[in-house]
Amino acid sequence: ENNITRPRGYKVSFHYNSRVEDMHFGKTHPMKPWRLTLTKHLVLGFGLHHAMDTYQAVAAGKDQIRAFHDSDYVDFLSEVAPETFEELCKIPRFYAHTPPRHENDTVELGPFNLSTSPGADCPVFDGMSTYLFLYTGATLHATQKLLTGQSDIAINWSGGLHHAHKSEASGFCYINDIVLSILDLLRVHARVLYIDIDVHHGDGVEEAFQRQPRVMTLSYHRYGPYDETGHKFFPGTGDISDIGLRGTVGEHFALNVPIPSGIDDRQYSYLFESITSRTIEAFNPSCIVLQCGADSLGGDRLGQFNINIKQHGDCVSFVKKFRLPLLLLGGGGYTARNVARAWCHETALATNNTLPDAIPMHIVPRPEAFSGRVHGDGKLYPSFQRLHLNDCKDGELEAMVKQVDW
């Protein structure tokens, strides 16, 4: 099978449960389970599972999630479903967490920033609890493998949900699996470095550790002044002056790299390599968590960067070269076929394999073949035949974004 081999001298583990694909945020919501299905099929189709220990994830327990999240919030998440939402909202200890209404709100928000309105960032949907506890379980098990030394690199592409707060969902994120993982890592490791290449600012992780000098957070993200519509790019934080909570021991242990739209491979590579290497040198971490959000790729439905899969993967290779225990997590990524290409390529990089550019036709998944339900737009992408590590042309972002079909 494509000469896939296990890496020499170190071990990689892959943590996943296909049931996360049963989630549906809503018809027009950008977060699609289909990207995880495609990723799984590329990884299996290329035979990369032969290069790693693969584990079927088990749901995290409520107590594990309480290590960071508010107890009432955890109870709400474990009990909520579209049918139970309204009743749960009336319970005083949950109702107390309902944000005040603003006049120009387009969606009605319930407790913990959750909502059943169709336009909500964090909707309540069928199978939501199962999805949340599974992606968290996968991240926590991956973390255990690193802690016991049974893995040197552990991967969970369904995790990396960096916006969730202690008692509030935000930006498609409900449970902050990254914070929970880092809290576990801190039991053994003196210093943990968190790096975030998702196009959005990793605000939830930064906030959780803003007073913690043993965790350094470093986020690369789109950031800038108000756009034509009078909005800031979500979540609107992560200015260069944002360096951790001033006046506490956490000051200087957060770093932010705000970037304008259209950044290309050469520019990104320069920023990423110089800043990341200098940070590792100065902070001297004993392990690294890398959130690999794929919405920083050119042509992403929500992103505004212009980097290729090749460059996105080079960030993973660069971090891997430091030979520290490494947790690789997913995150954003809204042009499904490119997300799958990137994360499959990065699985290959983690295991020291090089994939052929051509995707063998027999492994291109057919949407109608899964669980009797049509995922994605139901079309077979003619362009989904090659890995195309370099198809996003430099310096052409303004023209390409949301137009080019790779």
Residue 396: closest CA among 305, 266, 300: 305
DSSP three-state, residue 15 = strand
Compare residues 206 and 295 and give the one whose CB is closer to ligand TV7: 295
Q: Which does 173 bind (CB under 5 to 8 A by kind): Zn ion, ligand TV7, Ca ion, none?
A: ligand TV7
Write 146-149 long-range contacts (CB < 8 A, 24+): 146/185, 146/287, 146/325, 146/326, 146/327, 147/184, 147/185, 147/187, 147/188
Stretch that binds Ca ion, among 28-36, 86-94, 188-196, 340-348 (CB under 5 A): 188-196
Interaction of residue 200 with ligand TV7, rule CB under 6 A: yes
For residue 82, how far is the Cα from the chain centroid?
Answer: 25
Residues 24-63: x where in contact with ligand TV7 by CB under 6 A, - otherwise, as a string: --x-xxx---------------------------------
Interaction of residue 232 with ligand TV7, rule CB under 6 A: no
- How, if at all, do strands 53-56 and 12-16 pair? parallel
Interaction of residue 68 with ligand TV7, rule CB under 6 A: no
Compare residues 295 and 346 and give the one whose CB is closer to Zn ion: 295
- Active site members: 201
Residue nearest to ligand TV7 (CB): 332
Residue 159: closest CA among 327, 281, 392, 359: 327
Phi and psi at 290, nearest 5°, equal: -115, 115
Binding positions for Zn ion, rule: CB under 5 A: 198, 200, 293, 295, 332
- How, if at all, do strands 254-259 and 287-291 pair? unpaired
Interaction of residue 219 with Ca ion, rule CB under 5 A: yes
Q: Which does 300 bind (CB under 5 to 8 A by kind): ligand TV7, Zn ion, Ca ion, none?
A: none
How near is the Cβ of 218 to Ca ion at its closest, in Å?
Answer: 9
DSSP three-state, residue 312 = helix
Q: Which does 219 bind (CB under 5 to 8 A by kind): ligand TV7, Zn ion, Ca ion, none?
A: Ca ion
Host H or E run for residue 222: strand 215-222
Q: Which does 234 bind (CB under 5 to 8 A by kind): ligand TV7, Ca ion, Zn ion, none?
A: ligand TV7
Helix axis angle, 309-320 to 336-350, nearest 10°:
30
- Enumerate residues 166-185 that contact ligand TV7 by CB under 6 A: 171-173
Kindly tell me which residue out of 97, 221, 222, 312 binds Ca ion, with binding defined by CB under 5 A. Answer: 221
Interaction of residue 19 with ligand TV7, rule CB under 6 A: no
Cβ neighbors of 31 (< 8 A, separation 6 or more) are 25, 172, 334
How near is the Cβ of 235 to ligand TV7 at its closest, in Å?
Answer: 7
Where along the sequence are the contacts to Ca ion (CB under 5 A)? 196, 198, 202, 219, 221
